[in-house]
Structure 1
């Protein structure tokens, strides 16, 4: 399944939860879109797990194939599979750029990275899925266009608070990854255990 490029608010309404990485807008209506959006339905366990999985997919902007790959990688990691999955998604370069405030949304951050405006340890990296590691420095390419884009985005960041594992210098337009994200700093309301259960029979 390819990356979603349709109406973002429609997805937010359907899942019934804010997706800070996907859209900065909040829906005016609290029920799902469509003719039967207000009808109360008894939801199966599968439907609940599917929704949790879709929250991750749409918020972080990954395809189904990518998410399956992340789940497999998380299973090989030590500790909780759900926690490892969130860490892998949170440490993607496009998400780090978004969390630093250099882009208003994760799709905006992905575009910033893929167009070559972002550097890692002084070198241009144009791969949004690049896994950042503790100690790496995320900066802006040394060009007027790149600096102007980031400075404009910094005036209206997607999220107000900087997570504890990141630091950012607005004067240098430079951020640093100090560690791995803690669960409490994940901005998305999601039950990662249900996502792991969803893939337990599929992966």
Structure 2
């Protein structure tokens, strides 16, 4: 199973925002990494550099590697609607992302682990594929044997975010992926138009 396992704070500093969630190290040094720290004067970025950075930010945010991301872009191109918006909707519809949005895990990498370790069900069936694409109306839940897992209980008790396109019942540990989110409902700070321009070259 391919995934990014390198230093996360360094990547967050590169983009200038905590894309992996709360990070004390990032708060201490929220400037780009490198030998010269904050003193190095960086010239104006080229159009290509800006587009590439936006694509990398999206990939790291959702925990998707290049080939898979490219396939998702091609799928978004074939779909009806605005390509960039559809691409983000496909990222948001991934099972690991929805598990994270429901508050079952405090991070996407943690959600990915819960899915691959067979703690999550979709419509009552065990699914261990983090990239599984959900459809509106799908019911995501915690497997019966895993409902008492400390990591899940802690995450749910600390979760306060709510999304209009997802419902969650804390008693039954079941949630519904109600609808595909609109662009305004996706809180990620990603300029999807730059990604479309990069791939369209």
Which range, TM-score by smaller chain?
over 0.9
User: What do the CA deviations read for 1:168-201 (whole angstroms, capped 9, x no partner)?
Assistant: 0011111001101121222210100001111112
CA contact (8 A) 1:24 1:104 kept: no
Of structures 1 and 2, the one with the larger relative CO (CA 8 A, separation 6+) is 1
Name the SS for the 1:13 alignment partner.
helix
Q: Aligned residue pairs: how many?
A: 195
* Aligned match of 2:8: 8
CA contact (8 A) 1:49 1:194 kept: yes
How far 1:151 moved relative to its partner? 1.4
Q: CA separation in 2, counterparts of 1:50 and 1:83? A: 17
CA contact (8 A) 1:113 1:125 kept: yes
Gaps of 5+ in 1: none
* Aligned match of 1:63: 65
TM-score (normalizing by structure 1): 0.91
Matched, 1:23 2:21: yes
Q: CA separation in 2, counterparts of 1:112 and 1:9? A: 23
Two-structure CA RMSD over aligned residues (Å): 1.3
TM-score (normalizing by structure 2): 0.92
Matched, 1:98 2:100: yes
* Aligned match of 2:140: 138
How far 1:30 moved relative to its partner? 2.4
How far 1:161 moved relative to its partner? 1.9
* Aligned match of 2:76: 74
* Aligned match of 2:172: 172
CA contact (8 A) 1:97 1:109 kept: yes
How far 1:142 moved relative to its partner? 1.0
